[in-house]
Structure 1
């Protein structure tokens, strides 16, 4: 279902042209690799998005070419000489090779090679020759299979691409030449026009027949598309189609059942478009089912059920235990696997396999892994060229009664060029020695995990925000009943004074909250000095001043529901109280029985909150932004949340009629630890893991200053050992897969890397750590010395844990007292002062042509002279 063009992309210049998320709409990308590590890293980071083709013509050895294929490259582009060397030394599927050629002699040599291999599979060829069709005939390649790839020596144009398309070849188009926007004046090629050029319109209505599938390829429904709807789908990254009655159809605009666009392609003969989407909400069909052909079945149905139960399972239920007790699900998986191994009849095998799949998928859903992720990993494994023998590991082999490998009569020789495989079960970070790495490679490893476009999320959030704005309390209650299942609630707000029975805490918890609020309040109160009134005379008779005033009404979003997060309530509520905000409104999703966790109620009581909005998500944000019959409107909304909360905050802050601001952009949590030879390996590992356990999209970085192999190994061993003891071990493993250790020579290089990355949390486990703080330019919060773990900042030290992530520490501060204040300036001039300044002001007003400005001064000067 590929498109008739292949987008080439330069990872070193990601801002030049389409983003990777946009390129993914077309299914595949071509990158140029200067070394194996660069290609492997790119494939690893992006294999979930799209198929990666690699221009490997600069790779020198055949072993490295095989390594790139083994890493998961869909195809590699190579020279004829590389092809010859590969065919002599390696067994490589020819279908994954594309050979560059620009002359007839090279084409003849390629034809000879094809004659030897074509019985197995078909190889591709890339050419800059114009006679594409003639070349395909000469080589005996099936043009409809698009085995020819056409490059361009000059600027690529729409007409040249369409001409190549007609000849049955794939055009290689730089991402910088394409756009998904509909602005024709930008001078770039609109990708939608290339999609439409391939399609075969229906003769009766001129539209393109379109099949919509989910990420697993399950058909959701049949619709129609037009040139305009294709363009709008690519522009918004959502499902947009052409209704024969109503025109453009933005799927889910009214129902909320929106679609995130994953990929666009065609069937085998291009008379049917294929839209691959991620369906959000109830399903595709207007009847509320997953597809127009009925509900999901099998594994897809099980996944939907488990995802729903993960969000809604009552505390203490068996399903909740499976999601929250890792050892229980671990035991069930081993139990069911053992029962499957001992099943004998066909019916028993099917029964036990179903049980094993149930618990295995429950394990996956618990850590955010989907069937789509699993199947994509299976696809990636199928691309491996080099394979291990696949013998069972020692304990399991012994349990099954398999003889040790050493007893085999003919040991399997190890290929000379194949290095020993590392222990795949080991939990570790990638290591990069900066002295031997290129600047480009270092920058690649400094990149955060890619975040998906939030257009589909905004499309889902927008109708909720509008509904709350229009219908107030009724809408808030509707969504709370729907999402939180708190159907007993009759009011969306809990007003102060809060009943004591809602704040029943253990003495230990109450004391911990009291101590934390005290420390947070002390530290933020001390910040008042930097906000004291400023008054100065800039010239005789001209006095300027600045004074601060608290933001009157603030809304604090506290994630809640089944989770207990008093720390966020403290971090936002205490500074608001210290600043003197007149109205403090908390919002937190209630539990299924309609109650809020007592820790949050207690913090709300301690900081003098007016009320707690019993809602979460977009509806809570909208309620505070616009106000309802019983929920107070606020002037600023602060606090973390999921992607729906973040999208809603951005949406209301951009609505001038709402008159509300927000604190800062948000992203996944991150930490950067700088450690030298004196650092305790166990301390370093614990700091890294404290952020890795937040989620698989979290990132941790270690900068090791002049550590030798033994010292590095000590830290890596601690990471592996401590990670295995964590209940969220698999989340940690996912986070560490895109985390990195940089080995540097000195503190200056370490600080330069850190400032470039701009971490949310920076931990200095080095000698004389306090002196190094002077070198910190970009960071959310700094933790100094071996006795200062990041955890104390998250809870009780006094600093705030609401910090900028994703590199925003270069532009934003974390939440502080100033986040709850606004600064006002004043001017106070005497007659003498105005007279001294009058000519300056009048001159500048005249330059700008603002006569009324000038007259406001000249009238007063004239009045002085009349006295």
Structure 2
């Protein structure tokens, strides 16, 4: 565990680098990665001045770099590709809270640039990134932090990053701090003599327990030799009299910062004063064999077997091959152990004869473990039973296996898991959603948003021609809308009218017209009343489906809430018109304008306004990644002063089914959501169903999918979907609550009795005759619902979404006499004299 991390800035003395390497990794900017040597553990830092090259990043890791530090804007390029334990995220204070869960899980920690070392703020950051290593790099590099700051910062759980220009091997000054002073600053000791227990180890094996002092630690760091503190004789330089010296490779601190471990190379007779390698007795196993072979290499008598092995390479090679073959043929546990021991003996003999130690082998293993790329690993032709693949040549390194290809004629099937057989980690994986590359998409959509913000209608017209292939002369349609734009077949018009009536009736019942009035104490009356959000923007997607239903679900509650301006935005068709179904709904809900634009450009126009597009106060509606990213971008721009409804992701449904469920109904419910897009999330939670019952549902899924027009979308989305087998309704409901689906469909016996157990869901569909489609279109509930697990925190769109609540209070003179002293006391407690004075001056006036 690191106490602090140095970062190379500019020219750094080699002696300083060698000393720093003994106490932990060193951060090296990518531009200097080739000039600092490779003997130390390195973190490679990529900043915004560095061009991103994934192959080069992989090459650094393959060559032994411990970690790479990647700017947040590039995180999506490596998350899911590089091992999380090899990645740190580079953040500014401003974007620290913008890290998605997926990105956070794709890294082992963060490095945050901060203007100042505010301990309270850094402590809150460490708590926000619980489970991740938090490194803090102060931007002020003119003066080093004090030892007090280093100690307190480390206690918050954060690790300080110090530029090498602030570090020195000399005595600490106002301009630089001694590297050992910085190292010992946060250490604590629970001993009365202030010493630190120190475990000395070699090749991972303990040699003994000693004690260190601040003075001995400092000398060890600078000298690179073992220096300890004897409780009887003071400073103890190991081997000074006996000749059994030590080279110190690394100094590590334990998790409580109160004990140390020195990783050393021990010379001479051994560590112990009894001339044994360890204070805990003689070496065993491979360590003992290595010592014996090293001794035999120097003094084995001629004619001995070991002498023959060291001096006859052909014999040694034959024995290694013989023992390897016997190990491959071994079958029982005892046989495998016996033959492996023989192979280790001859293999280690080969190593010792070549000057290779167990430590060298372990270092090679560690280096190989750090490689990110992997080759296929087939045996060479002379060893393989089948050589056909081998003769085709070496396979190209790859970062991740390709997904299995979809076979056109294969059954359309879901993946099945049994909850009782899953580990907690595997269960958590089932609850995860696909990666939403929000940071990457925000970076891509920002130029579009900025263009509309600066150039208004001109940018809108150009972007609509580019993305929607529609050449327009005007961006907005205003009422009254021409009848030709709303021409519909009578059946469609009637269906929309019925849906409109049902949705309006349900949402009208949600309005809060009355004022809440509470007298909290005599003479103190508090109230709360609702007011509509004046101007709202409703985004209705185009894409692969015409969605007048979304226009209904957004427009009706806005109308019921009393919003003064309702601006509906939707992508135009290639001929520049809007679908008549959407135009008719715009007419029904009283839209004040229809913006003929989609994507990020439509969101930008709603957020900032243009010459013809009215600016709105809140933006609602689903959309693709461009729309979602643009909504996230504008809501964080104080110049826009606009809010959004909720985070959005791919459509979801979770169906809970027991033996009473109709397989055809269940399959139809799953497919109705899966057809939205290839990233739709579909989950079937079966309750104590037999294999045949599950198979019956799967057969229905396959048969119905092949009969539907969007079969190619279904083929891909269903292949990613899940069947989760549970043993009881309680277990199924618990899993659903953890998943927090957008749509929850309950196909259980006495289905309505289980609704009370639902804690997290966007909308619930109860019983065999309540398909999710009804909620999507016309039952009355809203279909704009939280996805991606946000049903834990968000409600679906409703009438209150289009209202804000204002509070008021009215206090009489008698009321202030009772309440005023309380307020004065609290204001004085907080040191806000003007607050207290505002009350005192009134109390004095009433005397």
Coarse TM-score class (shorter-chain normalised):
0.5 to 0.7
Alignment check: 8 A CA contact 1:6 1:29 kept: no
Structure 2 CA distance for partners of 1:472 and 1:30, relative to 1, 3 Å: closer
* 1:500 and 2:487 correspond: no
Equivalent residue number for residue 441 of structure 1: 426
Equivalent residue number for residue 469 of structure 1: 453
Alignment check: 8 A CA contact 1:4 1:170 kept: no
- 1:325-336 to structure 2, matched below 5 A, reads none
* 1:617 and 2:599 correspond: yes
- Aligned counterpart for 1:591 among listed residues 570, 573, 580: 573
CA RMSD, aligned part only? 3.9
Instruction: Answer with 1 or 2: which has the greater Rg.
Output: 2
What TM-score do you get using the length of structure 1 for normalisation?
0.55
Structure 1: distance between partners of 2:591 and 2:718: 39
Equivalent residue number for residue 841 of structure 2: 859
- 1:608-687 to structure 2, matched below 5 A, reads 608-687=590-669
Residues 156-187 of structure 1 deviation map (CA, whole Å, 9 limit, x = unaligned): xxxxxxxx6xxxx56369xxxxxxxxxxxxxx
Give the secondary-structure state (helix, strand or coil) at the position aligned to 1:587.
strand
Alignment check: 8 A CA contact 1:691 1:700 kept: yes
Structure 1: distance between partners of 2:498 and 2:729: 36
Alignment check: 8 A CA contact 2:73 2:443 kept: no
Residues 368-396 of structure 1 deviation map (CA, whole Å, 9 limit, x = unaligned): xxxxxxx99996679xxxxxxxxxx9xxx
* 1:829 and 2:814 correspond: no
How much has 1:87 moved relative to structure 2?
5.5
Alignment check: 8 A CA contact 1:561 1:596 kept: no
How much has 1:436 moved relative to structure 2?
2.9
Equivalent residue number for residue 171 of structure 1: 370
Moved more, 624-633 or 731-740: 731-740
Alignment check: 8 A CA contact 1:6 1:30 kept: no
Structure 2: distance between partners of 1:769 and 1:705: 13
- 1:515-664 to structure 2, matched below 5 A, reads 515-529=498-512, 532-560=514-542, 563-664=545-646
Alignment check: 8 A CA contact 1:652 1:660 kept: yes
- 1:364-383 to structure 2, matched below 5 A, reads none
Give the secondary-structure state (helix, strand or coil) at the position aligned to 1:801.
coil
Structure 2: distance between partners of 1:621 and 1:579: 22
Q: How many residues align?
A: 518
* 1:431 and 2:630 correspond: no
Alignment check: 8 A CA contact 1:484 1:561 kept: no
Alignment check: 8 A CA contact 1:561 1:590 kept: no
How much has 1:480 moved relative to structure 2?
1.3
Alignment check: 8 A CA contact 1:562 1:591 kept: no
Residues 178-234 of structure 1 deviation map (CA, whole Å, 9 limit, x = unaligned): xxxxxxxxxxxxxxxxxxxxxxxxxxxxxxxxxxxxxxxxxxxxxxxxxxxxxxxxx
Alignment check: 8 A CA contact 1:640 1:646 kept: yes
Residues 75-111 of structure 1 deviation map (CA, whole Å, 9 limit, x = unaligned): xxxxx9x998996599xxxxxxxxxxx9997495499
Give the secondary-structure state (helix, strand or coil) at the position aligned to 1:824.
strand
Structure 2 CA distance for partners of 1:7 and 1:548, relative to 1, 3 Å: farther
Structure 1: distance between partners of 2:442 and 2:73: 21
Structure 1: distance between partners of 2:80 and 2:684: 34
Give the secondary-structure state (helix, strand or coil) at the position aligned to 1:440.
helix
Give the secondary-structure state (helix, strand or coil) at the position aligned to 2:846.
helix
* 1:703 and 2:685 correspond: yes
How much has 1:855 moved relative to structure 2?
0.6
Alignment check: 8 A CA contact 1:434 1:744 kept: yes
Alignment check: 8 A CA contact 1:515 1:796 kept: yes
How much has 1:819 moved relative to structure 2?
0.8
* 1:722 and 2:707 correspond: no
* 1:5 and 2:54 correspond: no
Give the secondary-structure state (helix, strand or coil) at the position aligned to 2:59.
coil
Structure 2: distance between partners of 1:7 and 1:520: 62
Structure 1: distance between partners of 2:327 and 2:719: 31
Structure 1: distance between partners of 2:409 and 2:719: 12
Structure 1: distance between partners of 2:751 and 2:544: 39
Structure 2: distance between partners of 1:30 and 1:84: 37
Alignment check: 8 A CA contact 2:654 2:736 kept: yes
